[in-house]
Amino acid sequence: MAHGTKQALAAALVDLLNTTTLDKITVKDIVARAKVSRQTFYYHFNDVYQLLEWAFQARLRQLRELSGKDWRSQLLAEVEYLRANRTLAMNVYHSLGAEYLGLGLERAIRPLVAEIACNAELKLPITDESMEFAISFFTYGIIGTITQWLNDGMPKELDDVINDIHHLLRGDGEDLTAPAL
């Protein structure tokens, strides 16, 4: 039942984020919406930010299961989720510092980029010793692109950028389509 309680708390937080920025949401608001006690909340989470992190990771796991193994499809599904939940995404974006947002995005994106590298889809002439640098380089490039996309108000063009990143990583990026950000 613990997982169900965590899901109920996460659902309550998501509902609240559709109307309120994170910095204005309290534990009291969440437990009232989830119809559980404060003690139950604190049994599972230390604070609202830890609940947000758990909800974020649970959503990423769910998206990965829905979109299959292709990292490009996973990233596009995640972007589509953000676009479909624009108010929620912008409330979180405007509530969190860039550092916290970057950490969350890194946890989501690094495994996708590393998977490409481990499956030899990354067609760059680099040594094994340089692979970690390449993974970091592309991870932070994608994070920067997504952050700029959020900062610009989530225009549709991010789909083209993700497709271009996919082509670059696979080594077939001669005909890139995305406009410069």
The pLDDT tens digits for 54-79 are 888 887 777 667 655 677 777 777 77
Same domain, 40 and 77: no
Does residue 63 sit within a domain? no
Does residue 32 sit within a domain? yes
Residue 82 has a CB neighbour count (10 Å cut-off) of: 19
Same domain, 118 and 156: yes
- Structurally, how many domains does the chain consist of? 2
Same domain, 17 and 88: no
**CA–CA dist 140, 104 (Å, integer):** 12
Same domain, 2 and 23: yes
Say what the pLDDT of residue 181 is.
47
Same domain, 116 and 164: yes
Does residue 61 sit within a domain? no
Query: Is the Cα dihedral 158, 120, 114, 62 positive or negative?
Result: positive
**CA–CA dist 155, 132 (Å, integer):** 31
171 has a pLDDT exceeding 70: no
Same domain, 82 and 154: yes
**CATH code where residue 19 lies:** 1.10.10.60
Domain span at 31: 1-55
**CA–CA dist 158, 104 (Å, integer):** 19
Say what the pLDDT of residue 28 is.
96
Looking at every residue in the chain, the average pLDDT score rounds to 80
